[in-house]
Chain A
Amino acid sequence: MSHLMSKGVLLFCFDTEHTRYHKILEHCVRLVKKNICKDITVVTNFNTYQKMSPMGFINYRFIEPELGNKHNGRAWNNVDRHMAYELSPYETTLVMDIDYFCFTDNLAQLFNTNYDFLVSDTAYDLTGENAFDQRRWSMIPMVWATVLLFKKNNRVRKLFDTVKYIKQHYQYFTEMYRIYAKNLRNDYLFAMALQQINGFMGYEKLPFVLPTLPPNCEVVKITDEGLAWKYKDQISYVENQDVHVLNKEVANV
């Protein structure tokens, strides 16, 4: 089967000085293979690749990550998402953050839709504290670029071109849209690009909210069915529910 007629998952993974992202990737790949699909492409660099344990058949694309972005004072090599269109070998691609753990096959069915670009606009705080419902200063709705589904066509190529353009002029666009963030976030890039390329009107979205554990939750156990976390001295868990884990210490679990 030609790759251009195929469907697959695209993941980005670059270790940093402080975080062994390849360990998070290993959890993610295991769950994607079990619940989403077997066709996986990992975008990484050679240094990270050398540390990975064998994960079965995986397609690798090697690039050097763009440096300079930081999160909580630590290096955060996450600004290459705009290259997903060129790097994906698939006609239909599901791009996911590696800290999004698919404990269900909910996302797998999206490969069978005719939408050419889907993204979620809502995160759901699993601690019950609604940490993501903060005051919004920006003039446009935000999206969570944690999970993206796209097909290769002319319209989507223009969307990614717009993402690249906004990234080049990030300060201008963030000021224009009143996005008061110091670091570069894919969420903002895609929110602004979707606004621009869709004629400043709405766009189609994933019907899911993204169940998310805030950074102050410590993941204490991961299995193939779910995970448990510690928050304010209490242990909670979910099973058979996807979870986006923001605390990068999950690499040590």
Chain B
Amino acid sequence: MDIHELKRQSDLSYDTAVAKRNALEKATSRLVVVYNEHIFRADPQTICLVRTLKESHNNFCVLDTNNNPVEITAPDEFLSILLERNQESLNAYNQIYKTFARKDT
């Protein structure tokens, strides 16, 4: 048992955990999107809500990040923007995440 190797592994794990946390925070910040002069998060909850409402309504109301109601009159456009931002953010996170995996091996 090499105690220095164990310490090195511990330091590496800490660095990776902090870097992963920062990368996730970066991804979360990138989920913020402005539409119809209101602020939304392109998170799974918003995407699922918009997609579900869109199935039966051409226009509907959703809440922005400050709980203000917003009428959505172009659901396809809104959903497209949400999906695009969501995947942009998560793809960037995925790229960073792969570098962590390489460091751990």
| Overall SS of chain B's interface | helix
Closest to B17 in A: A128
Contact of B18 among A104, A127, A208, A241 (CB under 8 A): A127
Q: How far is the CA of A241 from the CA of B28 in the complex (A)?
A: 11
CA distance A112 to B32 in the complex (A): 13
Question: A236 → chain B, closest Cβ, in Å?
Answer: 7
Q: A106-B32, A238-B22, A238-B26 are in contact. Are A207 and B37 (CB under 8 A)?
A: no
The CA-CA distance from A126 to B26 in the complex, in Å, is 11
A33: Cβ under 8 A from any B Cβ: no
Does A240 reach chain B (CB closer than 8 Å)?
yes
**Residue on A nearest B31 in the bound complex, by CB:** A207
List A contacts of B21 (CB < 8 A).
Answer: 128
Interface contact A104-B30, CB-CB below 8 Å: yes
Contacts of B91 in A (CB 8 A): none
Q: Is the CB of A109 within 8 A of B34?
A: yes
**Of A109, A211, A234, which is within 8 A of B25 by CB?**
A211
B44 nearest CB across to chain A (Å): 16
Q: Provide the A173-215 mask, 1 if CB < 8 A to any CB of B, else 0.
A: 0000000000000000000000000000000110111010000
Q: How distant is the Cα of A127 from the Cα of B18 in the complex, in angstroms?
A: 7
* Inter-chain contact A115/B66, CB cutoff 8 Å: yes
Q: Is the CB of A208 within 8 A of B15?
A: no
Contact B29 A113 (CB under 8 A): no
Q: Is the interface of A mostly helix, strand, loop or mixed?
A: loop
| Beta-carbon nearest neighbor of B33 in chain A | A109
A124 and B17: CB pair below 8 A? Answer: no
- Taking residues whose C-beta sits less than 8 angstroms from the other chain, chain A's interface range is 20 to 34
- Shortest A7–chain B CB gap in Å is 13
| Interface residue ranges of A72-106 to B (CB < 8 Å) | 104, 106
A15 on interface, CB distance cutoff 8 Å:
no
Give the distance to chain A from B55, nearest Cβ to Cβ, in Å: 27
- Does A2 make an interface contact (CB < 8 A)? no
State whether A106 and B37 are in contact (beta carbons under 8 Å apart), knowing that A209-B25, A236-B19 are contacts in the complex.
no
Closest to B70 in A: A114
Binding site for B on A (CB under 8 A): 104, 106, 109-110, 112-115, 124, 126-128, 204-205, 207-209, 211, 234, 236, 238, 240-242
Name the 9 nearest CB pairs between A and B, nearest first: A128-B18, A114-B37, A241-B26, A109-B34, A204-B66, A207-B65, A207-B32, A112-B34, A113-B37
- Can you list 21 A-B pairs, Cβ within 8 angstroms, ordered by A? A106-B32, A109-B32, A110-B39, A112-B37, A113-B34, A113-B38, A114-B38, A124-B25, A126-B22, A128-B14, A128-B18, A128-B21, A128-B22, A209-B25, A211-B22, A211-B25, A211-B29, A234-B15, A236-B19, A240-B92, A241-B29
- Apart from A104-B30, A114-B37, A204-B66, what are 16 other A-B pairs with CB-CB below 8 Å? A109-B32, A110-B34, A110-B39, A113-B34, A113-B38, A128-B21, A204-B68, A205-B66, A207-B32, A207-B65, A209-B25, A209-B29, A234-B11, A234-B15, A238-B22, A242-B29
